[in-house]
A and B are shown apart, each in its own frame.
Chain A
Amino acid sequence: MGVPAFFRWLSRKYPSIIVHCVEEKGKECNGVRIPVDTTKPNPNEVEFDNLYLDMNGIIHPCTHPEDKPAPKNEDEMMVAIFEYIDRLFNIVRPRRVLYMAIDGVAPRAKMNQQRSRRFRASKEGAELTEEKNRMREEVIQRGGYLPPEEIKERFDSNCITPGTEFMDNLAQCLRYYVAERLSNDPGWKNVVVFLSDASVPGEGEHKIMDFIRRQRAQPNHDPNTHHCLCGADADLIMLGLATHEPNFTIIREEFKPNKPRPCSLCGQTGHEIKDCQGVARQKQGEHDEFAGAMPAAEQEFIFIRLCVLREYLSRELTMASLPFPFDFERSVDDWVFMCFFVGNDFLPHLPSLEIREGAIDRLVSIYKDVVHKTGGYLTQNGFVNLERVELIMQAVGVAEDNIFRKRKEDDENFKRRNKEKRKRMKAEQQGPAFMTSGQFAPQALGRRDRPEPVHNARYQAYDMRMQSVEQHNKDAAQSLKSMMRNGGRSSAGVSDGTDRGVKRKCEDSDSEPEPEDNVRLWEEGWKQRYYKTKFDVDVSDDGFRKKVVRSYVEGLCWVLRYYYQGCASWKWFFPFHYAPFASDFRDIQEMFSEFEKDTKPFKPLEQLMGVFPAASGNFLPPTWRNLMMSADSSIIDFYPDDFAIDLNGKKYAWQGVALLPFVDERRLRAALADVYPDLTPEEVRRNSLGSDILFLGRSHPLFDFIHELYRSETQEEAPVPAELCHGIQGTLNLDDNPILPDETVKSPVPLLRDISLNSSINVKFRDPQFAEGFVFKAVLLPGAKMPSKVLKPEDYERGARGPWRPQLGFNPNRQQAHLDQAGFRALGHSLPRAQQFRGQYSNAAPPSSYHQGSYSRHAHSSGQQHFQHSRQNAPQRPPPSFSSVPPPFPRQQQPYRGGGHGWDRAVQAQRSAYQQNLSRGGGGPGGYQQRYDQRQEDWGDRRDNRGQQQARGFPLPPPSRHIRWNN
């Protein structure tokens, strides 16, 4: 979904859907990294069957990372991608399927958004380079220091589009990667790997959905498959819900908000390129100890549990006393549909629906009202009931006026508070103290003006001091005044009359001037102005408005169909840059019936012509590129050099609307028909539509079947035998250039080795096909077992059961904190043991020094009881000489004092063992125990005696005999 704020809204409203990932890190021994053994159970206490990777969410951050230095060349990028996939595989540990989907040619509806992004990226890149060069010169002239510029080609992220050489290379590298892991990594042994690369049409996430949908529709599918989908897009959540699979989880990188980006000239945070002074970083704290987080900290991952989201939604959407039976699955589909209204990749969202303003909540409450009137659900299996949708839209339309007004008020409040805050911040933050300003500022030499001698230095310095004092006073007075003025009012409250409607003439000229808003939705006549400004039509032009609404209605149907059934039309797109108003949705029932049938996607190179600006023409063959630039080209209008960006009420350019012309498919195809013959065979290959590939390793049950297919050189398709592959169905075809076992597989990446003994095999795979007009049902499958509930039941009574303990992970009985055996042994070294306690955990008592001498322990908890035992029962015998040995952990006291409790809790789980040991007195592991017992007595003595002899009473190290045992 094109709504970045959607996930934030969702995770704030339904917080329990998020579970932090536990990631087992590989160990390093003598400089050699030991890979993690992923055959072990998943430390997240859940076992996943299928892992689906939306590869574009991996390719982009690995090839042009935002917060790290970029990889130097393509090979480094590939290695980064492999490592990322390894990390995900380690966290998720899929046991059956790994599905990697790279974006192929997208439907036309999506291509418009891709086009807009690429045109903008191209512009931004050029501007950035220019600004960097200019600022670099300026800063160096002024005497600042900048790290030397690396002469490297700027990576044009536009090459991450199907049909480019880069994507072709990537597919080759991924094949190598899969073969290597299948051959060598034990965790991959029984996993089937699917690779759908850029030559297969369809967006990555939708190819994944298609796969799941089609598997669900065939009878051998396991309805309790546990799916895990990796991707950062918020609409993956929608897609996951749309599958109606009971066990669906999403994994994504944890987003850390408000992390400032470093200036790309000098690498420091806190300013942007245009303010760069090339100054050394200021130390925070005497030794720079208050500097922010380490810049290279690794990204963490989070799981999003859709079953918990379903629990939340069931509470939210449950409607009582309906005239028809309530079906939760249907209401989930309706919820998904309503989320499209606040934003999706294919339609501009309605101006009155902003997720930040609680649009979804508004829609849900309208929905619950309306459903009594309409007598049914809005959607079914991805088909929209337009009559009912109209009722919802009309209800939103009625509220539009108020929505716009409130938006303006909130905006004004927000800006005012921000301004005050910024003033305060500015007063505090004057920049590094060693940088002078005013006439004392460093001046560049060699330029036109000769640096002037300082005039009136003393006066100036005095002046500057007084200025800042005055400013402080002024600011303080100002904030006091405004506080008194606005006192007691909440941030969302109604501003009083003096604030409303006052046009903010920039009294503070340092703040940026507000972008001119010609539409002013909060004032009377907004509809007129909107249609005039955005569409350049009179509001009385009903015919035109109907056209816009019709296209929008088509769009809603198309989008829902896309999520539930697959792409209904590869050609359809929304041909306007703006959305209509909700109140314009009148008589929409008749507006739409069916999409054009038998539409085909563009071929990869054709698609490149449709989404690339002329500046990225280098990815295309020369005669094709010429069509983007020549004045005689019959499609030159598709490639403007410069275009308008309408902020449309937003703050930042990237949120605005790029007013690019739409591509006319007929003319594009006609123009390309002339230059098709110029393609080289390589380009022809890149331009063709490909097929999904299936990989497996030798120990997989399906291996022999596939191997046999190759040996028999069959030309026919072969269906997958259901029992050999966890119920997955499909048809197999021989690959023209397969990876076969016992052959060497050459590595396309020079950094990595060839696979000398490959034991994997690959084959072409096709999803199960269904008849024309087949409808995939959006229902729970029979045999599906719902996972156990996680949320606190609404009628939970805090009685004998104690307070509600929220479930933090996948397992309700999760072990919280615990020490491994090694931890206890380490503690055991230094801690005294009472003779009473046997067993490994019996030394969980803190040192007795606490309750002797000056450290009298007040009774905290039952844990203390044990220690008192020890005290009482210790025989009084003088210890052998210890004085020469220094106490091992002089600081142990601190953690243990407070930690008595924590320890206590940690040990709670072991309590039973503890008790047993107490009573047993002699049990425990073998010889260790016996010798242990001998020492108990000695130790007890030493401890007590120590307390008498030494005021500090630190636990002393064990005698050397003790140490020997533990080797």
Chain B
Amino acid sequence: MVANSSTQNNRLQSQLIGKWWMPAIALSLGGLYLAMQFSATEGAGRESFFNVAHPWSVYVFMSSLVGLLVYGLVRHATLWRLGKDTPESVFANLPHRFKNVFRLGVAQDKVRRDRYAAVMHWSISSSIVVLTLVTAQVAIQDDTPLNFLHGSYYLFFSFYGDLFGLIGLIGVGMAMWRRYFIDFSRIRWDERPEDHLIIVGLGLVLLSGFFVEAFRIEVTELTQHPDWAKWSFVSYVLANLFEIFSMSDNQILWSHSAMWWTHVVLAFSWLALIVFTRLDHLFFAPINAFLLRTDSPGRLSTIPNIEEQEIFGVGYVQDFSWKQLFELDACVRCGRCTDVCPANLAGQPLSPMHLIQDLKGHLASVGPSIQKVGNEGGDTRSVSPISMVGEVIQDETLWACRTCGACVQECPVMIEHVPTIVDMRRFLVMDEARLPQTAQAALQNIEMRGHPWSGTALERTTWMDGLGDVPIFDGTQDYLYWVGCSGSLVERNLPVTKAVFRLLQESGSSFGVLGQEETCNGDPARRLGNEYLYQILAEQLIGTFKEKNVQKVITNCPHCFNTFKNEYPQFDGHFEVLHHTEFLNSQLQSGALKVQHELPDTVTYHDSCYLGRINGVYDAPRQILNFIPGTNIQEMERNMSKGLCCGAGGGNMWQEEVGERRVNHVRSEEAIATGANKVVSNCPFCIQMFEDGVPAMQPDEVGRIEPFDVAEILELAVFGEQDSSIEEKTEI
């Protein structure tokens, strides 16, 4: 059995859900219990609009708000409707989608990835929800035959109304602290006046609410039923404070009335911001959680019947799917995506947040004309005076993307940046044939030679030298060991391939390799935007696999792993796919592989994006390292789902980086900072990037951290230092 590496992550997440919701529920239940105990309050209650003239005007406000919301929705929807159908139906897999709405929309799982924001945002959002319900109950009590707002429930109602008012104010305070008092950059990358309006406005709404209540209590309950008044604990304190002004009853009544109107106007105005500002995420975030893909984030969409398309990829805003357009409106400019983007961290020209905002701006500016021209049957592609790909979004921005998925992982409103970026790359490559020279060389090499490693002096079988008989897969073995282009054609990765081979052999597993018959599975082509080339390669290789009766595949490389596992099913290629770390871990667990040697090392483990974040395999490689006596893991600050890309993803292995720094230098620094003597990964690209980045960041060879693959370390632990492929690195 192979350990399920994603369980730990799920566990962590469910703990988090408990953490934040339990205190609120416990507090409320506690209050309810106390209110029930307070039996002498049978008569507790109040006249809802006791001091307000024309309270019916609230309904005017409310209808206006509903009207505005409908207007806003229609306005947005006309723009979304410019988009095409989504690749998968948004009504497929409904249980999963509703789970997402609860988990990501209501429980705000993603928001909680930043602890401060988690408390702040939950405080604000729960307070808005509860206080809306409080207000609604007053309306129901007052304007329907239902009569429930009295007695114990009234006291409880008073209590939680104040409680969530206070919670809301705490949230607003936290938001203001972060926005006005500390240096917190990501929320200022694209700060707009509305941001102040929202936060200050909400503070005023909540405060005015307390004031209204305090004035009411001062003239009513404070003297008549002080024991009731205490349940509205915030207003009670406030009302007592007002006593020092010794206002007359009339003055208080006048103040109450004025404050009531202020509160109502402020509250409805604030709610109206939903239509005009990013507050719309109140609705869009849960809806986007519903729309979120239910398949793997490692899967890019196919272009069906690619040979019959007139345009390839997305070059015009109307070529996006309506869901991609919808997402643009969901963005709240929180900056989390950009904050974790490896390109941005290295000062390279990509900020996922700005990309989404730029597209949103473009849609708003050209969308209405496109719609008009479309209705008239004109050419919608000639509407925009500037080109979306090239001018609104610059080429180098698209090429800087590592497809590492960090932005997608962090986005609290579930925007999927990566497919959007790749869609535009597809346009650049297939429609415009406009791509960096180095990327072009890699793609052409794949076309001509079936691998991206232009200029390699190695053959697909070079790694087999000195390994004796290497079994060729013939359909009788259990597993196909897929070496991959990097594993066979890049010098540095050969020891890894040898190590995996020897460990597979040692474990007694039944496996074979394809040798000369291996060819690129298409992953780099797909990520670089050449979907056509990808489809040709994928279809060929699936044919080969089927012909050879391949059922189970063990891959060297997490990119091959992802493509076989998540993308080949799109072309009817269904195989059981394991990364070597998963398989080797299972062999250790079962005892088929035995660690014989101690390795006194402190290592840091680097999660490759495509094994870790995108496929959730965090545990298996760590478990292998934990099996080795003497080896300690010292985690980097960014690890697991927050791990930072090595810089090579998304075809950037074959591109020259543009920007202030190189991503691999940034990540190498983080590895060096752990003080470990080895940085261990699971991906041929990551290892190459560390081999390049570490010497640049640590010029002194003495004490330099050394990059290895998990398999190389395990080989040392199983066979000993004298007898490992790793030695070839230092000898000639």
Q: Do A and B bind each other?
A: no
* B interface with A by C-beta (< 8 Å): none
* A interface with B by C-beta (< 8 Å): none
